[in-house]
Structure 1
Amino acid sequence: MVDQQKRIPKWLKIGAAIVALLIVVIGWKAYQTFLGPNITGDQKYVFIHTGDTYDKVLKKLEGQHIVKDIKSFDLVAKAMKYPTLVKPGRYKLTEGMSNRQLIGNLRGGYQEAVKFRFENIRLKENFAALLGKNFESDSTTFIHLLNNEKLANSYGFTKDNFFTMFIPNTYEIYWNTEPEKIIARFHEEYQRFWNADRKQKATALNLTPQEVSVLASIVKGEALHRDEMPAIAGLYLNRLRKGILLQADPTVIFANNDFTIRRVLNKHLTIDNPYNTYRFKGLPPGPIMLPSITSIDAVLNYKKHEYIYMCAKDDFSGYHNFAVTQAEHLVNARKFQQALDARNIKK
């Protein structure tokens, strides 16, 4: 045995050692290229747009410093046939991910859905801007859809009340979902929200779900405190039943398209606009803001009382003084006007 080892040439031993070393080096390099960490922590997501080519993806990964070594990424991507399998989407990045992990997600289309939540939205334009910020399509595309009469009609709405279809909640939607399908997703939630119980309560009020939401938007505009919403809803329902003008200040502000108004004056009341409930009887044609679930349920579960007047309290607590007679209301209104004057709030 010893004699055989002695007969192995030295050069062969050296060659074998070199080959073994090369195998180790190549193996280590392959491991690092495919499985070693190559993703930086500079970005939380990579956004692959519809129509992006592989070259655009490479430029994006390099330009945003998403990968440390773009050449190794390119090598693995081609080995995994990713250049012909580019899929749009919003893909989550984790610092230390390997090329193989990221490319596996990219080529498989394994993106992370957007958790889209909204509330306290005043105008369609505000909503369109928020949608454009969170999804691939821009705000111009979304505002066009929100103002599309034909689309609104297809869901059973008018162009004016279409905004009531969007129920504030948290939605999980893929970033590159087509805008029309995003609208359809909101309609699914609307149908779930308006269950048999809510529809029955709306019918008892002699209102459609859309009309309930329009009234709820006014209630939301008036109420600074949730616990007062049912009382405010009850007041407006009393006015509707009696055929009295709603005379809701938030509708006047909306009609004037001036949301800086803190004190509604006579000059604001003269505007010829169907949203001016000081001039036009009944509900306006659409919501003055996106109603909240709380305000909708406040209308459906309104507080029964005889009040038909209300005025903000002069302590600026955000609550209201309610009244049955105009004489009582005028006393409350005078107190509030004096409080406004004392604070030099003129407009």
Structure 2
Amino acid sequence: MSAVVDVDMTTHTKKILGGLVLVCVIAVVGFMLLFNINTQSISKDSQTVLFNVNEGDTMSTVIDRLADDGIVRSAFFTKIKAKLGHHDQLYEGQFNLDKSWDVDRILEYLEKPSYEHDKTGSVAITLIEGSWAKDIAKKIASETNTTVERFLELWNDPKYIESLMSQYEVLSKDLLKNKDAKVLLEGYLYPDTYEFNANNSEEEITERLIANGNDKYQNYKDQIDSLGMTPYQLFSLASIVEYEAPGYENMQDVAGVFMNRLKQGMKLESSVTICYALYEFEDWDDCESMTNNQIDSPYNTYRYEGITPGPILNPSQSAIEAVINYSHHDYLFFVANVKADKNDPDYGKIYYSKTFEEHDQRVKEILN
């Protein structure tokens, strides 16, 4: 009889424990949901408000006032966010905050002196063709009230990128499969001259860049399809061409070399892809060294066949069109004269070859 009682008690205890675990899980999930909601921006629309940090203010008192002024949703959850994010530094002064900013951005903004945030009004920013994403982020952040860190966080956020895909056809799904990209949106940050408001958010600026590229894409998407490439593949090849060759005609000729090599199953063997594989390098010679040519990276086109897994920079319209309208010839090799004096008319001139022997001889003559 006692054995039956023990079994019943054990079963009852398990049910109680199971119920407690379930309650705890629900509580944690519920808390995380509330935390996420209450640390988002107050508004989707930009609305600048003046906020003062006074002598003697603490992070706690500042957050209380942020909540009272309707700049953050919840003082309680904002304080938790500040604690988790180690936001503990404040500067006195007047700050132009925006109700479209989330809690992270507001706290980061208050951690710098107000004079570092005196950028206001419209700013014209030229993004240079062939720039890396990290350099584009630095350029924009230097002239607006944005941060490099937030840009790179967004540009590597699969969920954010997926939300953009429903709006912009140019963003092909294969970019999310690239596990080796330094920045997932590399190649889609369209180089051009833009006019922004200094208080535009990173999201607003990003969408301007993508939208511009998407508009241009509509003009040649059928031609990309006819090449049997996705936009991502074409932008990847265009980015290599951009890095290798100056001027539209040179780009067409170099693109023709790469297309010939791809058709024959040859590796591209482009040293500029080594630059991206290294990502940090002191000198161009680092990309040319035989040691670095052996680096184990899918971006190393000396080791891996085909086009790189993704773009190695953000290509210009000219580079994209040069790949679409690549030159039809029989060349399989090229070398640029980069050893000549920069004032020499032959500096940067590209020499093309049909055989390796001819190419090897040119390399010895030009580069040695």
Match for residue 284 of structure 1 among 308, 322, 329: 308
Alignment counterpart, residue 294 of structure 2, candidates 246, 270, 273: 270
Check conservation: 2:188, 2:314, Cα contact below 8 A. Answer: no
Deviations 1:257-302 (A, max 9, x none): 3251336122111100111000011111222222122111111121
Seen in structure 2, the aligned counterparts of structure 1 residues 319 and 153 have a Cα distance that, compared at 3 Å, is farther
CA distance in 2 between partners of 1:323 and 1:128 (Å):
39
Q: What residue number does 2:352 align with? A: 322
Please report how far the alpha carbon of residue 116 of structure 1 lies from its aligned counterpart in structure 2 after TM superposition: 2.5
Q: Computing the radius of gyration over CA atoms, which structure comes out larger, 1 or 2?
A: 1
- Identity %, equivalent residues: 27
The question of 1:336 aligning with 2:342 is answered no
1:123, CA displacement in angstroms? 2.6
Aligned to 1:176: 199
Name the SS of the counterpart of 2:284 in structure 1. Answer: coil
Q: Is the contact made by 1:225 and 1:319 (CA closer than 8 Å) also made in structure 2?
A: no
Where does residue 149 of structure 1 map in the other structure? Answer: 158
Aligned partner of 2:264 in structure 1 is: 242
Choose from 104, 128, 135 the match for 1:119: 128
- TM-score (norm: length of structure 2): 0.59
1:205 to 219, 227, 231: 227
Deviates more, 1:249-258 or 1:306-315: 306-315
Q: 1:139 aligns with which of 135, 148, 155?
A: 148
The separation in 2 between residues aligned to 1:266 and 1:54, in whole angstroms, is 58
Amino acid at match of 2:324: L
Greater shift, 239-248 or 119-128, is seen at: 119-128
Query: Alpha carbon RMSD of aligned pairs, Å?
Result: 2.7
The residue number in structure 2 matching 1:260 is 283
In structure 2, what is the equivalent of residue 53 of structure 1? 51
Are the aligned partners of 1:230 and 1:299 in contact in 2 as well (CA < 8 Å)? yes
> 1:228 touches 1:319 (CA, 8 Å); kept in 2?
no
Q: 1:244, CA displacement in angstroms?
A: 0.9
SS of residue in 2 equivalent to 1:142: helix
Supply the distance in 2 between the matched residues of 1:252 and 1:221 (Cα, whole angstroms): 11
- Matching of residue 190 in structure 1 with residue 192 in structure 2: no
Letter in 2 for 1:267: T
Q: Runs of 5+ in structure 1 lacking a partner?
A: 1-48, 57-85, 90-110, 339-347
Does the Cα contact within 8 Å between 1:164 and 1:291 map onto a contact in 2?
yes
Does residue 217 in structure 1 map to residue 239 in structure 2? yes
Given the superposition, is the C-alpha separation of residues 219 and 312 from structure 1 closer, same or farther in structure 2, using an over 3 Å criterion?
same
For residues 337 and 121 of structure 1, what CA distance do their matches in structure 2 show? 25
Shift of 1:112: 3.9
Q: TM-score, normalised by structure 1?
A: 0.63
